[in-house]
Chains A and B, each alone.
Chain A
């Protein structure tokens, strides 16, 4: 088992490295000269050369990559092209905001979806299952901004309970922070839970299709007892896997949700960077997001290995 886990983590580190190359090369091989784009057409050859020397652009690409990667490890993320502030200082507070959002969403949506998924699996083909399956299918097939739009329509426009813009500032009290970020929170909870409910239900029903469940049906065990005593324990592995996987989905969810509600998080910072073509900023944000994503995927794989007795105690 240890070997499998270590192997998985090792593959994860390799993936992270490949990702860093993709992010760096993908954004560095721009058509055109970066210095020219930043300084504009009127720049003299001297200022261009000075800009290149200052930003290390006169060095070969692999040297630039090495400097960049070294900076990633030491927390020196470079200087933003727009405004010239250090990227670490730009990211700091934004990162905390995004973590707050993701943390609250995880705490609420994980138990909620496991319970609802279990309910749907326990009473299949009843109205509760039908409502949950149809509802979650609809929710996962619409874009995140669709749900956000309807949230605004219902809670901000028609009911007037919540602000449509999430104006979060560090001086807010806890209550103010929660009220201001309620809309992005609810939207993300809905998006993530819908996925998790479906996958939990499918995981348990999948276990229900295995031969030993058929055996207990033929023995005459009642359905509830089969689910609570036989199926659930064997579904824990898949469910843990589902949870880690969905927390990874949060990564793409926050991009849309932070933009639509103008929530001052990391994703909003990145989108602004994309619009102003602020490369160092986009690279740093992309690395943080992709890194988190890869780590969560590794966690889900490790959880799947740990929760499977056959993998845990190999012969």
Chain B
């Protein structure tokens, strides 16, 4: 826990705090995210009644709605980075290491998925299956691993020619063991950086989809839909825009910091 990594530890702590409070606070609060209170419309932050961040145009507690939004956004970040790291790394490393026909087939599959126009795809899914939250996960999961698969494949191609890989080969190591023990650990630096870049991207993408109205379904809120609602009312009630926007910015910023620290933490060469 050197000085150099203080930022990463703080960022990790903040994210943990946000995640925990988004899980715990809504359960303890007397308010929920959907019941309107018509006598408390668009109130600014106030201590009275415990509406610490104020209320929205339907009189719902903004703090609770923002925390629910964090739940959705963090869940999407988790799913997207899980899929992109898990599937993307395995896919790319296997393709790059195997080479030849296998490589060509796997990477052409990636190209095909890549060429699916994404926003219309999500809208079609929404039309077919209704306005379901899991569609969002399917859609983001389907594309988030494509970039990382390409990057990992490229890295694997150059890694494959490194001497320690040949040394492992002449020791008789092959196949899954080679990929799992020799290739993948050496990809970690690139993968972690890229995964932490993916997280903000998908959070923002979810915000974008919610802004378009194909994300979460009302009355549930995500950070994106809260920002969209707040933006329409920003002159009269700026707190409705500022609060969710600040939380989103803080989360994205923390993820970027966390990536740097994680990479150093997992690299034995960076440890004293």
Q: Are A and B subunits of one complex?
A: no
Q: Which residues of A contact B (CB under 8 A)?
A: none
